Amino acid sequence: MREAMVRAEVGDDVYGDDPTVKELEELAARVVGKEAALFVPSGTFGNQLALFTHCLRGSEVILGDDCHIVQHEVGAASVIAGVQLRTLPGHKGEFSLSEIENKIRKEEDIHYPATGLIEIENAHSGGRVISLNWMRDVYGIGEKYRIPVHLDGARLFNAAAYLHVDVKEITRFCDSVMFCLSKGLCAPVGSLLAGRQDFIDRARKKRKLMGGGLRQAGFLAAAGILALEKMPHRLKEDHENALFLGEQLARIPGIHVKSEDIQINMVFFSIRDSGRDDLALVAQLKERGIKASSAEGGLMRFVTHYGVTKDDIRYVVDTMRHLLAGS
Ligand SMILES: *Cc1c(COP(=O)(O)O)cnc(C)c1O
C-alpha cells in the first residue's frame, strides 16, 4: 500500500482532477452498485455528510439507539445536519418494523418535524450482522413513505463475508451507503459515501463546507483502491480468528464471552466475574503488547485483523489466562 501511495498519480481533487481519487470513486460506486461515490476522510464524516445531505434542518432521523451515529459520533447530528434523532430500542442492530412505521410523520401538522431519513447499520458495531430480510422490510417502509434509507456500512464487507453474498445484495436495500476503507480493509485513511448521482453531487459541495475537500488525495485513494480490490476476500480469516479467540477465551475462568455475537472480527467479553478491574487489565495487556478496548456497558472488546495471526491469538489467550489467574 505504501508503494502504491508513493507511485500514485495525483491532482487537485477539490477541482475534481485527481485521477486516482476518480478511479477509487468509480470503483467504489461499481462495487456497491450505486451511481456515484465520494471519498471522505472518515466513517463519521461519511455518516454525518449523509445526514446533512439527505435531511433538512429540524427534520427527524429514525434509527436504533445502539447505533454508531447515536453512541459514538459526539452528537454531531445535532451540530452539523441539525437534525433530531428519533431513536428506537435496538436489538443487536435491528429494531421494530412496526415502530419505524409508527414513528414516521405521516400528516402535515404545525407541531411536527418532517421525517427525513431512516438509518440502519450492517455489520452492527456490536459485532452482529443484520439480516437481509429485515433490511428489505425497512427499505420497503422507506419506499412506501418516500423516506430515504442510509446504511452505515463501516464494516459492510465483513457483513457480506459473513452472509456469503456480494455486497450489492446488501446495498440494494438502501439509498445511500457509507463504508470504511480503513478498519478491516486496512487502508490508512478514508471512507466512501455512495448513492445516486444527484445525491453525491450535493454531498460533494457539503463535503467542502465540512472541510473535507482534500487536494492531492490520490495518495490516500491509491491505498484505498488496493484495500477495495485485495482485502475483502480475506476477511473470512479475521472472522475465523475471532471465533478461535472467542472459544479459547471462554475457557478461562472469570471471563464471559458473548459467543453468540461473534459473527465478524470482534470479540466482546466481560471479566466482571473475575473481580478484576478492566482498566487495570487493559494497562497490563498494553505492557505486553496487546491492545484491548476497556469496558463499555460492562463489555471489553478484542478485534482481529490482517496484522493478527493465529499465533498472536495464542499469545493473547495465554497472557489473559496468566493475568486473570495470578496478580
Ligand atoms: C468505525 C465506525 C464508524 C466511524 O468510522 P471512523 O472512520 O472511525 O469515523 C461508523 N460506523 C460504524 C458502524 C463504525 O464501526
| Ligand 1 close to Cβ of residue 261 (< 6 A) | no
Residues 107 and 141 in one domain: yes
From 214, 230, 246, the end of a domain falls on 230
Residues 220 and 244 in one domain: no
Parent domain of 238: 234-324
From 208, 230, 252, the end of a domain falls on 230
Number of domains in the chain: 2
Q: Is 271 helix (H, G, I), strand (E, B) or coil?
A: coil
In eight-state DSSP terms, residue 301 is E
| Ligand 1 close to Cβ of residue 216 (< 6 A) | no
| Ligand 1 close to Cβ of residue 119 (< 6 A) | no
Among protein residues, the one whose CA lies closest to atom 2 of ligand 1:
154
Residues 31 and 78 in one domain: yes
Residues 253 and 116 in one domain: no
From 169, 199, 230, the end of a domain falls on 230
Residue 211 sits in a domain whose CATH number is: 3.40.640.10
Residues 139 and 271 in one domain: no
Residue 293 sits in a domain whose CATH number is: 3.90.1150.10
Q: How far apart are CA 29 and CA 38, in angstroms?
A: 9
Q: Is 148 helix (H, G, I), strand (E, B) or coil?
A: coil
Q: How far apart are CA 158 and CA 125, in angstroms?
A: 11
Is there a contact between 154 and 173 (Cβ–Cβ < 8 Å)? no
Return the ligand 1 atom nearest residue 183 CA.
Answer: 1
Among protein residues, the one whose CA lies closest to atom 10 of ligand 1:
43
Residues 221 and 239 in one domain: no
pLDDT tens, N- to C-terminus, the chain (327 residues): 999 999 999 999 999 999 999 999 999 999 999 999 999 999 999 999 999 999 999 999 999 999 999 999 999 999 999 999 999 999 989 999 999 999 999 999 999 999 999 999 999 999 999 999 999 999 999 999 999 999 999 999 999 999 999 999 999 999 999 999 999 999 999 999 999 999 999 999 999 999 999 999 999 999 999 999 999 999 999 999 999 999 999 999 999 999 999 999 999 999 988 888 999 999 999 999 999 988 998 999 999 999 999 999 999 999 999 999 865
Among protein residues, the one whose CA lies closest to atom 3 of ligand 1:
43
Residues 83 and 188 in one domain: yes
pTM confidence score: 0.97
Return the ligand 1 atom nearest residue 153 CA.
Answer: 13
Residues 277 and 199 in one domain: no
